[in-house]
Amino acid sequence: MSTSTATAVACPNIAFIKYWGNRDQALRLPENGSISMNLAELETRTRVTFDTTFPLDMFDLNGKRQSGPALDRVIKHLNLLRGLRGISTHAHIFSENNFPTGAGIASSASGFAALTLATVSALGLEISEVDLSRLARRGSGSACRSIPAGFTEWQKGINDLDSFAFSLAAPDYWNLADCIAVIEEEEKKTSSTEGHALASTSPLQAARVADSIRRLEICRNAIQKRDFDALAAIIELDSNMLHAVMMTSRPALYYWEPASLNLIKAVQSWRKTGLGVACTLDAGPNVHVIFEASDTEKITQRIKTFPGVRDVILCHTGDKTHLL
Ligand code: PMV
């Protein structure tokens, strides 16, 4: 019998410039580059054990043995990584999120980032951050941005080899906070994998993609200069462009709930009073309210008591995916 094990920890991320639509669905090569911030406080912890006596692959998520599409997706990723060592030994994956399951917070980014690092380590492979990011991308596109630290950019690249994320700034470069207003706790109805496949059916997607180089540049500069007003303007524009594409795809995807829109409008009105605050939404109704951490008290109080907000989760800029 031979056994080997490794444990990795990864944070999810919130996209400031969003990824939506693949030019190669199998390789998850995106239509446009994207920028995000890792979310500390939230984490996925994944232990991978390879053992020559295991008769099959097993995947436990938050204490529950997985089957069906969730297991298949993990096995597909394991096969990719096992292929790098040319082995077929089965594995037991034991993964836990410290954030509430079904709180509408995407766990695929942190999940595939942690799974990639734990698996390559258990396989005894020495892999650069760039290659880790490329490999994590194959499991879930946004996972590649959770590999490096802090504020990260995923360059769309021209092929599998150069489509990866790198760090634009370390976590302590800018003390931003993301107060996630949980509006719905259920799983989203259309997964992002299905959503990416619909992006090209929207007549607005081509314009969103064509303008992405400009938005990326503005966002990168805003982070480098720690210019909150510039960041606020570009992340809200980008989020609205993403949702405009979703709402105009066939079939149309509506992720916003009435409370999401009410909070979006409230954030705008708070900003008009001089408060540095902005919001962005991924493929779900929960509103990520972004601000400088020095304003935490003032802003989280307003969100906590906002009608339709069931819960809030406060996060700061997070670190890279690492081994335990
Ligand atoms: O990595 P995926 O397939 O879960 O896609 C993420 C899509 C968005 O969250 C909507 C945008 C993004 O860039 O994270």
User: Pocket around ligand 1: residues whose beta carbon is below 6 Å from it?
Assistant: 15, 18-20, 34, 106, 108-109, 140-142, 192-193, 196, 282-283
Pairing of strands 91-97, 58-61: parallel
Question: Which of these three, 115, 139, 171, is where a domain ends?
Answer: 171
- Rounded to the nearest angstrom, the distance between the alpha carbon of 38 and the centre of ligand 1 is 13
Q: Give the global pTM.
A: 0.97
34 Cα to the center of ligand 1, angstroms: 10
Same domain, 129 and 43: yes
Spatial separation of the C-alpha atoms in residues 220 and 27, rounded to whole Å: 26
pLDDT at 302: 97
Q: Are residues 156 and 219 in the same domain?
A: no
Mean pLDDT of 10-38: 97
Cα of 30 from ligand 1 centre, angstroms? 10
Nearest CA-CA partner of 78 in 95, 93, 97, 63: 93
Is 38 inside any structural domain? yes
Q: What is the CA(15)–ligand 1 centre distance, in A? A: 8
Instruction: Tell me how many degrees the CA angle 120-93-61 measures, rounded to the nearest 5.
Output: 130
- Residue 205 sits in the same domain as residue 267: yes
User: Quick one: which of 263, 323, 264 has its CA closest to 121?
Assistant: 323
**Looking at 108, 142, 171, which one is the last position of a domain?**
171
Atom of ligand 1 nearest to the CA of 191: 4
Final residue of a structural domain among 119, 139, 171: 171
- The pLDDT value recorded for residue 24 is 96
Strand 64-65 vs strand 91-97: parallel, antiparallel, or unpaired? unpaired
Assess whether 39 and 116 both reside in one domain: yes
* 323 close to 44: Cβ distance less than 8 angstroms: no
* 60 and 152 within one domain: yes
Please report how many Cα atoms fall inside a 13 Å half-sphere around the Cα of residue 178, on the Cβ side. 27
Domain match, 201 and 63 both:
no
CA 125 to centroid of ligand 1, rounded, Å:
28
Looking from the CA of residue 108, the nearest atom of ligand 1 is 4
Please state the φ and ψ torsions of residue 50, each to the nearest 5 degrees. Answer: -95, 135
128 within a domain of the structure (yes/no): yes
Ligand 1 geometric centre to CA of 98 (Å): 20
Which of 152, 192, 253 has the most ligand 1 atoms within 8 A of CB, as the residue to mutate?
192
Query: Which atom of ligand 1 is nearest to 143's Cα?
Result: 1
User: For atom 8 of ligand 1, which residue has the closest CA?
Assistant: 282
Indicate the top mutation candidate among 212, 282, 287 to test ligand 1's pocket, ranked by most ligand atoms within 8 A of CB: 282
| Dist. CA 191 → ligand 1 center (Å) | 9
- Indicate which CATH number applies to the domain containing 122: 3.30.230.10
Q: What proportion of the chain, given as a percentage, has pLDDT over 70?
A: 98
Confidence band of 104 (pLDDT split at 50, 70, 90): low
Strand partners, 279: 289
Do 134 and 200 share a domain, yes or no?
A: no
Same domain membership, residue 156 and residue 7: yes
DSSP state of 172: G
Sequence letter at residue 255: Y
Q: Does 102 score more than 70 pLDDT?
A: no
- The answer to whether position 231 is within a domain reads yes
323 within domain boundaries: no
In terms of domains, do 299 and 197 share one? yes
- Reported as a pLDDT band with limits 50, 70 and 90, residue 191 is confident
Is residue 67's pLDDT more than 90?
yes
User: What's phi and psi for 283, nearest 5 deg?
Assistant: -85, 65
Tell how far the Cα of 282 is from the centroid of ligand 1, in angstroms.
7
Q: Which atom in ligand 1 lies closest to the alpha carbon of residue 106?
A: 4
Atom of ligand 1 nearest to the CA of 142: 1
Question: Residue 184: is its pLDDT beyond 90?
Answer: no
- Burial class from Cβ neighbours inside 10 Å (0-12, 13-18, 19+) for residue 212 reads buried
* 322 occurs within a structural domain: no
Residue 321 lies in a domain: no
Ligand 1 atom, smallest distance to 14 CA: 14
CA–CA distances in Å: residue 273 to residues 53, 183, 215, 276 = 64, 25, 25, 9
Helix, strand, coil percentages in the chain from 3-state DSSP, rounded to 5:
40, 25, 35
Mutation pick for ligand 1 pocket among 11, 13, 19 (CB with most ligand atoms within 8 Å): 19
Q: Of all atoms in ligand 1, which is nearest to the CA of residue 242?
A: 10
Q: How many structural domains compose the chain?
A: 2
Name the pLDDT band for 101 (thresholds 50, 70, 90). Answer: low
Q: At residue 20, does pLDDT exceed 80? A: yes
- The CATH number assigned to the domain holding 252 equals 3.30.70.890
- Residue from 94, 116, 119, 97 nearest 106 by CA: 97
Scored b (16 or more CB within 10 A) or e, 11-26 reads bbbbbbbbbbbbeeee
Q: Residue 229: pLDDT above 90?
A: yes
DSSP at 203: T
Does 79 fall in a domain? yes
Q: Are 254 and 262 in contact (CB under 8 A)?
A: no
Of 91-100, 259-268, 287-296, the one with minimum mean pLDDT is 91-100
- In this predicted structure, the answer to whether residue 84 has a pLDDT above a threshold of 90 is yes
As given in the structure block, the two tokens for residue 59 are: 């995947």
* Statement to judge: residues 235 and 311 lie in one domain: yes
Q: Are residues 246 and 267 in the same domain?
A: yes
Q: Indicate whether 167 and 212 sit together in one domain.
A: no
Site of tokens 């034991």: 94
Domain membership of residue 279 (yes or no) is yes
Distance, in Å, from the CA atom of 152 to the CA atom of 169, rounded to the nearest integer, reads: 7
The pairing of strands 58-61 and 176-182 is unpaired
* Enclosing domain of residue 152: 3-171
Q: 56: which residues sit within 8 A by CB, 6+ positions away?
A: 90
**CA proximity to 259, closest of 286, 232, 290:** 286
Interval between CA 109 and ligand 1 midpoint (Å): 8
